[in-house]
Amino acid sequence: MPVVSTKKIQRNKNWKVIIYGKAGVGKTTAAKFLKGKTLILPLDNSAKVLANEANIDLWKDPKFDTDDDNYFDREHPIESIVAFFNEINSGVTKLSNYNNLFIDNVSSFEDDWFVERGRKSKNGIANEIQDYGAWKNYFSRIMTSLYLLPNVNVVTTAWEEQRDLTTESGQTFNQYAPEIRDKVRDGLLGLADVVGRVFVNPKTGGRGAILEGNDAVYAKNRIDDRKFVPIEKLFGFGEPKDSEPQNSEGKNETTSTQSEKDGLK
């Protein structure tokens, strides 16, 4: 039985990151801060903000013409995701040409999947009970396949929601977390090395990501010890730390924004 030394593990290679936040906080824009070449799987067709970025390509469903503004078929997401895997597995789209795969976003994909299943139901609108169990198995299989793609960093985006949690002592509270059904969310978060909540500082307009979880925010970081980071430095795993930026009062920026790190209380 082969044994591998932990000294050979590279934390800053082939990592899996999930970033989530409300619409407009800069989740898609974060792709421009990835190093190397990036392929985007545009599940919600919202990548116009990345226009003219030299190192970013968008995967396009072959059913669409080159000049069509659609990339992913949101009316038939099941067919479109199959087309993506077919092109990856056949070599039509060479993943080896890319350093990063950016999946944007899974909350949208979940909504579209249920809409498509609803169209196939008895009344053509409402989802049937078996759809919810089918989604759990389907989504887990899709994300596991994406995360097993070799030699590529994977970034996944999602919208945010507040979920109700109850502690062992019976205390209840609301926590920000990626917007996706509970049955699949925990499995997805468990696969990731880093989960960060993206937000905009209302005082400065700066965008950042919370990487340390608490009662108010779901987050984690098992690659390095950063707890909060400006969005443009989010993917700088293994880089030397810069000194903390100071605000006009001479306070460290990370200290002055403690309330934002705790969930914008």
SS (H, E, C) the chain: CCCCCHHHCCCCCCCEEEEECCCCCCCCHHHHHCCCCEEEEECCCCCHHHCCCCCEEECCCCCCCCCCCCCCCCCCHHHHHHHHHHHHHHCCCCHHHCCEEEEECHHHHHHHHHHHHHHCCCCCCCCCHHHHHHHHHHHHHHHHHHHCCCCCEEEEEECEEEEEEECCCCCEEEEEEECCCHHHHHHHHHHCCEEEEEEECCCCCCEEEECCCCCCECCEECCCCCCEEEHHHCCCCCCCCCCCCECCCCCEHHHHCHHHHCCCC
Q: How much is the pLDDT for 241?
A: 65
Residue 1: the pLDDT is 67
Distance CA(34)–CA(232), nearest Å, equals 9
* pLDDT of 257: 44
User: In the prediction, which pLDDT does 27 show?
Assistant: 97
What pLDDT, on the 0 to 100 scale, is given for residue 251? Answer: 43
CB neighbourhood size of 181 (10 A) = 13
**Which residue matches tokens 């001479």?**
250
Residue 173: partners with Cβ closer than 8 Å, 6 or more residues away: 164, 165, 167, 215, 216
Distance between CA atoms of residues 85 and 106, nearest Å: 16
pLDDT of residue 103: 98
Neighbouring-strand partners of residue 217: 176
Q: Residue 232: CB partners within 8 Å, gap ≥ 6?
A: 33
For 110, residues 6+ apart whose C-beta sits below 8 A from its C-beta are: 135, 139, 180, 181
Closest by CA to 142, choosing from 100, 87, 184, 200, is: 184
* Predicted pLDDT of residue 216: 92
- Each residue's pLDDT, cut to its tens digit, for the chain (265 residues) gives 678 777 777 777 899 999 999 999 999 999 999 999 999 999 999 999 999 999 999 999 999 998 899 999 999 999 999 999 999 999 999 999 999 999 999 999 999 999 999 998 988 989 999 999 999 999 999 999 999 999 999 999 999 999 998 878 888 889 999 999 988 999 999 999 999 999 999 899 999 999 999 989 999 999 999 999 999 999 998 776 654 443 333 344 443 344 444 444 4
Residue 165's pLDDT is 84
Assigned token pair, 19: 């970033």
Position 167 scores a pLDDT of 77
Q: What's residue 133's pLDDT?
A: 93
